Amino acid sequence: MDDTHVPVLVVGGGPVGLSAALFLGQHGVRTLLVEKRDGTSTLPRAPGLQARTLELFRAAGVLPRIRALEMGDSHSYFEGGILRVPTFARIDEAVVVEAPSLDGPDVSPERVMGCGQDRYERVLADLAREAGAETRFSTRLCEFAQDDDGVTAVLEDTVTEVRSTVRAGHLVGADGASSTIREALGVHRTGRGTVFNALSIYFRAPQLEEWLKGRHFILCYATEAPGTLMGLSRLHGCDPWLAAPLYFPERGESPEDFTDERCVEIIRTASGVPDMKVEIVGKVPWQGTQLVAETFRAGRVFLAGDAAHVHPPAGGFGANTGIHDAHNLAWKLAAVLRGQAGDALLDTYDVERRRVGEAMAEQAMIRNRIRHGHADAETTAAMVDDIVITLGYRYRSESVVDDGPEAPVLTPDLRLTGEPGTRAPHVWLDRAGARISTVDLFWDEFVLLTGRAGNGWAAAARLAGERFGIPLRAHVIAENGDLVARERAWTAAFGVDEDDAVLVRPDAMVAWRSRGAVEDKEAALAEVLARVCGLRRSS
């Protein structure tokens, strides 16, 4: 057995695991990623990348490589919403089921983007390797054990069956809904379980584009497919198309019943074109399930993505939420490994992301019930707009200093007003003639924002950072500062005055803001910094 020593072992090479390896590498953390498949995905699953997800890639400096994958302007497909038709050929009779709000120039510098997982996974793998990660495909995790100092894992090359041992400081389980890591840890899940069964059918049908008359949409449901409801996805393009009919095990149905001939029949019936030429490219059965792990951390092992939370795909929250998990965990692991934060900071990964995972799962379930016609008025009223779910979620943890009343993870309306635990508001700034967003300021350091030079906050930031060995960068946003706000006042956006200060974490989440005069700025900031970095717990 060859022994390998790495700070972090990531198991799972889907969007979540690859993003974790990328983000860790960008923070200077050497990572080994293993994946039992022989390569990245060959199917265009998870085709919608949210504005918040793109903000994370933007902050990591890799967004141009991701944006280059977009085929034309995919935003118009999102604007088309979710449709329902009798058949696709009757697209003129389409009823809009959902018209989600997903982004906007006042809330984010980024717009949502459509791209198949088969394309962006390849780029994420390349980017992870360029950031220093080692990737091993055709490699499975056989077993692992953890102690006070790290995790020992046994890996097996699935081609040669040769085994090797890896010693890692931490293990990230991004190994999907049927996670063997979660099972080995004995971590239970709660939720509604499996609520439906579906089959993804990837097919080519050049004639279908003609019948759709160029109509743009995220998803279109056809109600006349025999015995089922079939949805047609549009975000990743149309080569191949993706359709997903339901099947019912309680009626004795199984994926094996869906021969190529039957799939062609379903597609033709749903399309309303009996003689349409259809070529079946691939079939993948899956379950619409709602389950959330009872903890996302067990010692030195962390769960992320579907391994931690799984829910119906309604809303497209799955891969995006998992990538957000990876980002939240990556900067915290990096800070701990550099000695700039305490182990308590890693506890906040579970606290923050589990509450978000539970909220996302519930919202996906609500959308699923609405789309399948099973929602009552109370369920429909509980639906929160997509823009709140993807950009407006709120953290409450030891890494957020907020003396206000308990706030929900999701609010009925988008509230990005600088409150601790929320994503810092997007404000356009001028930096030495370059136009940037406030969101661009946050990646590898804590950042302190203030609105007046000489008010003492910049000096306090330097001294507080030096006291704990924590990089803390200060910016003055003012006409005589290093940054100048354009289009709207940053103080109004963040809910502060010019002499106040706002501390923002490396993930662009507001950690703390001062309100009113602070006599000893260095002491106040040092106390806050120690708490949010897990070096000192609140009393």
CA distance 374 to 409: 25
Rounded to 5°, angle at Cα 459 from 454 and 465: 155
Which residues are marked as active site?
221
CA distance 426 to 106: 7
Give bridge partners of residue 83 from the DSSP assignment: 96, 220
**Contacts (Cβ under 8 Å, ≥6 apart) of 202:** 43, 44, 240, 241, 242, 280, 281, 282, 283, 284
CA distance 189 to 336: 28
Each residue of 297-327: b (16+ CB within 10 Å) or e?
bbebbbbbbbbbbbbbbbbbbbbbbbbbbbb
Using N-to-C axis directions, what is the helix angle for 457-468 and 521-532, rounded to 10°?
50
- The separation between the first and the last C-alpha atoms of the chain, rounded to the nearest angstrom, is 48
Q: Indicate the DSSP class of residue 111.
A: -
**Contacts (Cβ under 8 Å, ≥6 apart) of 46:** 15, 117, 316, 318, 319
Please write down the HEC assignment for all residues of 406-469.
CCCCCCCCCCCCCCCCCECCCCEEEECCEEEEHHHHCCCCEEEEECCCCCCHHHHHHHHHHHHC
